[in-house]
Amino acid sequence: MSRTIIPTEALDHGDHRRYHRGCHCTLCTAAACAQASKWKYLRATGRGSFVSAKPAVAHIWALRMAGLPDRLIAQRAGVGEAHLHQVLIAKKIRYYTAAKILAVPVPEATSTRNGAFIPNVGTIRRLRALSADGWPTPWLDSRLKTGEGYVAYLMRQELGRTIRLFTAVAVKDACAELAGQEPESFGVLHRSAKAVRAKAAAKGWAGTAYWDAEDFDDPDFQPALDDGNRRALAAARRADIEHLAAFAIPPHEIAARLDMSADYVHDKIRDMRKAA
């Protein structure tokens, strides 16, 4: 969608835009002075004409995830499609551009074959979180109806690249459905789920329980699971399990209290008894 230029004669006298196009009558001059005074006041109070682009960019992603093509987003925001794409790579944008974009309501997400590209960060994080929960990639391939090995391929991608919108939507829906579920309850063999969890833990991937929904797609959010934190977290979990197990509390009840997998708690108790 190209930006429509409003001709000068279509602007009323007293519009600051008409002044900047050459009409210096009393009304247009007064409007331009008022506009200049407004910007001076905003700058003096820390509200300059430029604002961070991050909220607008995040809103564009939300609109895309809901299935709106860029052409329609631009139309509803009253900006050009090329301008919309410039916003996506900008650090600062005009406050009124941000206001126009943020005013576009996000519709209910629907299944879509929208071919738009969006950043891959949320998709990769969701797939890695599902892996940390014990979901094997072949099972996810089947669930997402992708080609064999496609999920594993996506999980190996570097963050910061792009991905098709319809793929991102499918992964987001799957993650929302499977988060907190036991893979074994869906026919995944226990040994397979356990092996997947171990591999994910070795790579530092956090499970779905770690993430808040909005953090998946936030490129500035950095999971705090480095090597030191993983060791501290593992030690804390072991201590909690050991403490409750000392009171002869069943593994499934410990798992419920600590919001952990029952199999994970069972394995930890078994390992602790072997080491005793």
Residue in 16, 54, 43 with CA at minimum distance from that of residue 221? 54
Contact partners, residue 117, CB within 8 Å, separation at least 6: 162, 163, 164, 165
Q: What is the pLDDT of residue 250?
A: 87
Other Cβ atoms closer than 10 A to 180: 11
Distance in angstroms (rounded) separating the CA atoms of residues 18 and 20:
5
Q: What is the pLDDT of residue 227?
A: 47
Residue-wise pLDDT tens digits, 209-247: 888 777 888 777 776 654 444 555 566 677 778 888 888
Write the DSSP string, 85-115.
HHHHH-SEEEHHHHHHHHTSPPPPP------
Contact partners, residue 34, CB within 8 Å, separation at least 6: 16
Residues of the chain with pLDDT under 70: 1-6, 42-43, 46-48, 109-116, 223-236, 259-261, 276
Against a cut of 0.75, is the pTM above it? no
Residue in 263, 96, 127, 74 with CA at minimum distance from that of residue 185? 263
